[in-house]
Structure 1
Amino acid sequence: MKCYDDHELQAAAWRKLNSHYPKLVEPRVAAAPDSPVSCPVEYFPQHFHERSLSPWRYELVPKKDHFPSTYAEARCLCLGCILIQNKSQPMESHDYNSSPVIQKKVFLKKEPCRDGKKYYLKRVTVDVAVGCTCLRAKITPQ
């Protein structure tokens, strides 16, 4: 494993990420993690992540000592799923559940070398929600 000075580390991380690992496309818009979440039944708009029967938004997640140091993660906006039946108004149905779609994403983690002055990059894989989908609600037998 190669050790890097602090000033070399970021460039080395991006070189490795760009040449060895497939890149997930990051969404352009992300919401603040502490902003309110609501199911947008009344809007049912044009953007594909909002038009879904299980809409979502993206939130930026910090990841200290990792490259990249932030990433966007999907957060489902509804507990149920939006249904449109017989040309009626859209409504949220709890007969179905909104569930995150998970994809593995590669990060490089900054780890100290034995000399305590330099760092090496350790490959780590993290499950990241990239969208949401609609599933039938689980029914537990009684």
Structure 2
Amino acid sequence: MNTVKVLGLVLAFALCYECIPIQLEELGEDIEDHPIECQNIAGKDNMDTYHKRQDCEIVFRNEYVKWSEKMLADESFVKDLEVLNITEDNSNQSEGGISRPKRSAGSNECPVFNEEYLKNNKAWKQRSISPWTFFITYKANRVPQRMVDTRCLCDGCIDIRTLTEDVDNLISVRLPLTVPVTKNSKLTTEEVHLGCTCAVAITEDA
């Protein structure tokens, strides 16, 4: 077989490669190796299924997502949490500096740091000068559909001298973390929040 025929066969094979049925096993796919959330994902063909499962694996092997899934499975953790159905991403960051995040329209209020409160609230997220709480976000077109997030309980921060909220000089801001998710079957990222911290407020004159 001369060189021209060999090159012709190689070219023909390359052109027809997409036509050859590819089994997931040939791609090194082992369904049991995937997180359980990804094992039943199916695409329009084997290659599409393979890529969708790879995207799903990226999401569910993320440490924050794994922690969120663990906490959501804990009934004692989620029983009193608000579930927020989100249709659009809202940003609490303004261009040029930190803006004051909106306080939730719920029962969460900035606590009064009196003796009774400090006696009954031992968790450090409750005793922080920028206290915060958990809630759950839900998006129908997102995987995972439910995720744990946090919100600040105060607009300002607790003044350690007076144990009252200072809204004139300080603001509570959420600590962001970018995590992988899929939206409409496409791998992307989304911002969640680990908690809150205290920052000096930016004024228009600053």
Q: TM-score, normalised by structure 2?
A: 0.51
Please state whether the residue corresponding to 2:59 is helix, strand or coil.
helix
Aligned-residue Cα RMSD (Å) equals: 2.6
Match of 1:81 among 142, 153, 157: 157
Aligned residue number for residue 140 of structure 2 = 64
Please state whether the residue corresponding to 1:8 is helix, strand or coil.
coil
Q: Comparing both structures, which one devotes a greater share of its residues to helix?
A: 2
Q: CA deviation at 1:18?
A: 3.7
Instruction: Find runs of 4+ consecutive structure 1 residues off by over 3 angstroms.
Output: 10-16, 27-30
Q: Percent identity?
A: 25
Q: Comparing both structures, which one devotes a greater share of its residues to strand?
A: 1
Q: Which runs of 5+ in 1 are unaligned?
A: 1-6, 112-121
- Counterparts of 2:195 and 2:173 in 1: how far apart (Å)? 9
Q: CA deviation at 1:70?
A: 0.5
Amino acid at match of 2:144: P
Aligned residue number for residue 3 of structure 1 = none
Greater length-normalized contact order (CA 8 Å, ≥ 6 residues apart) = 1
- Counterparts of 2:203 and 2:106 in 1: how far apart (Å)? 32
- Counterparts of 2:158 and 2:141 in 1: how far apart (Å)? 39
1:1-142 paired onto structure 2 within 5 Å: 8-9=40-41, 12=53, 15-19=57-61, 22-24=62-64, 25-26=67-68, 29-30=77-78, 31-32=81-82, 33=84, 35-42=106-113, 43-44=117-118, 45-85=121-161, 90-94=163-167, 95-111=169-185, 122-141=186-205
Please state whether the residue corresponding to 2:40 is helix, strand or coil.
helix
Q: TM-score, normalised by structure 1?
A: 0.71
Amino acid at match of 1:64: A
